[in-house]
Structure 1
């Protein structure tokens, strides 16, 4: 099991444990993490699972694909650390991952 911590805009954190092979978005939905809407169900067809990957984890989480970058154009307050959580696959390498939930989703 891999641990992921979701930090809300108010600073409150929620750490969840999930199986490898799922996505960060699926981890959020399975554990009722507030602010991760995932309206498209993980098809990379919306920007409602937007998160900010903690600086220490950006390299391990990888860079967004071209399709993901196109979808991020629809997110609010996009930053260098922005990712769509549906596109981050959970593995042992991400055990301890920290992501921040934006104040607003599209």
Structure 2
């Protein structure tokens, strides 16, 4: 089974199983990683914002315009920011490393 690593807000690393076909957001929730996902993956918020390790960023499919629009609302946006709900685990992403931002901005409430 593929694995992925979350770098949590305190800097600790947590490697978890990442089943094929699940999104990074779903993997996080499956393992109790503190990532909100207020819109439950419907691409209506930016609370599942993650910062992808630069070594992995080029291996990801390009962000669609709707994802880019939501990323514009994310707190602490970086050049390698993506929404966890839009990143699906594939064999090619076995070993993916993402960092959780220090804060999120929930515009849904």
Shorter-chain TM-score bucket reads over 0.9
TM-score by length of structure 2 reads 0.92
Query: After TM superposition, what 4+ stretches of structure 1 lie above 4 angstroms from structure 2?
Result: none
Aligned to 2:19: 19
Measure how far apart 1:61 and its partner are: 1.8
Measure how far apart 1:62 and its partner are: 2.5
With 43-52 and 55-64 compared, the bigger mean Cα shift is at 55-64
CA distance in 1, matches of 2:89, 2:103: 24
CA distance in 2, matches of 1:44, 1:2: 25
CA distance in 2, matches of 1:58, 1:4: 14
CA distance in 2, matches of 1:102, 1:82: 9
Measure how far apart 1:46 and its partner are: 0.5
Question: Between Structure 1 and Structure 2, how many residues are aligned?
Answer: 105
Over the residues paired in the alignment, what is the CA RMSD in angstroms?
A: 0.8
TM-score by length of structure 1 reads 0.95
CA distance in 1, matches of 2:59, 2:69: 21
